[in-house]
Amino acid sequence: MRLAMLLLLWVWTMVAQGEELPPWVSPEGHDDPHAGMVLDTANGIWLTPVMLVESLASATHVLVGEKHDNPDHHRLQLWLLQQLHDRRPQGSLLMEMIEPAQQAAVDRLQNQTPQDSGALERELEWSEGWDWALYGPLVRWGLSHPERLLAANLGAEEMRAIYQAPPPTSPVYDGAAIKALNDAISSSHCGKLPESQFPAMLSIQQARDAHMAGQMIEAPTPALLLAGNFHVRKDLGAPLHWPEEGLDQPLVVMLVEAGSELPDRSQADFVWVTAALPAQDYCAQWE
């Protein structure tokens, strides 16, 4: 009964405020009772997306995690940015998908007359590893609305140097975090990566997360970061590299497909449940 009342409130709020969510693109998970809703992990209460916007509007730093290939995650990110900007000007948008070498082109294009999508993709020398069809609308918004669109990732040369000479593991990682990251490294390489390479891969992850935190701290506020879910996790990612004093801790939102295990309060502040893509064996190519 309570869930039904929340759903009715959600529909009424969306209609009343003209803040309708984009329709689902991913084909699965539509019948999940919490699809489209947001779990406040601090108290276990389910929120509407509009309630999430109100919870984030006063935050100076927000980290939004995603599953990179889910189109609904990117459509909801754009919706969230638009809603937040309507309530207060967005100072900056930072993206894992942009590297330092692209920043000069981004700066030239900031607040300029929009180019067509293909020309913009070429001007930015956009990496084929990030689907422009998914990220293009976010980039275009970031170039025209906030004060700055900023690179959040390390460059390939920097990551190569770290791989060749891994620095010591930071003390911000406890044993459980190191094990979780090593398990993730192994899983993402389908169990084919020799354990001897784990320290180098962990060092790259550490450096990327520390860099993202540093970029967020230096960015015009309010600042919002878009990155993979592992990068934004409070127990494993960029928040571990946040200063303990002098700044409010960032708020973490994770977009998670319906049917997946939901993060808890140690991992995220808010969990937004979305439609899901069909299960895919990403390791089939390794066979």
Cα 86 → chain centroid? 20
Alpha carbons 232 and 65: distance in angstroms, whole number: 6
> What confidence score (pLDDT) does residue 15 get?
41
Q: What are phi and psi of 92, to 5 degrees?
A: -155, 155
My answer on whether omega of the bond before 222 falls inside 30° of 0, hence cis, is: yes
Domain ranges of the chain: 34-155+220-258+265-274
pLDDT of residue 158: 97
Output the CA torsion 169→173→174→176 (10° steps): -100
Torsion, Cα of 278, 279, 285, 287 (10° steps): -150
Q: State whether residue 150 is helix, strand or coil.
A: strand
Structure confidence at residue 115 (pLDDT):
84
Give the H/E segment covering residue 255: strand 251-257
Pairing of strands 45-47, 223-228: unpaired
Within 13 A of 80's CA, how many CA atoms are on the CB side?
30
The Cβ-side half-sphere exposure at 59, using a 13 Å CA radius, reads: 21
What pLDDT, on a 0 to 100 scale, did the predictor assign at position 3? 52
Query: Can you name the CATH fold of 34-155+220-258+265-274?
Result: Rossmann fold (3.40.50)
Q: Give dist(CA 52, CA 87) in Å, integer.
A: 13
Are 254 and 261 in contact by the 8 Å Cβ rule? The answer is no
β-bridge partners, 149: 93
Whose CA is closest to 136, among 223, 77, 63?
77
pLDDT number for residue 284: 79
**End-to-end CA gap in the chain:** 48
pLDDT at residue 96, rounded to an integer = 98
Strand pairing category for 270-274 and 38-40: antiparallel
Using CB atoms within 10 A of its CB, is residue 161 exposed (0-12), middle (13-18) or buried (19+)? middle
Residue 26 tokens read as: 């991913």
Q: What residues does 85 pair with on adjacent strands?
A: none
Residues of the chain with pLDDT under 50: 8, 10-12, 14-16
Q: What is residue 282's predicted lDDT score, i.e. its pLDDT? A: 77
Express each pLDDT in 138-166 by its tens digit: 999 999 999 999 999 999 999 999 999 99
Tell me what pLDDT residue 281 has. Answer: 83
Query: Any residues with CB less than 8 A from the CB of 119 and at least 6 apart, and which?
Result: none
- At 2 the pLDDT is 55
pLDDT tens-digit series, residues 238-281: 999 999 888 999 999 999 999 999 999 999 999 999 999 999 88
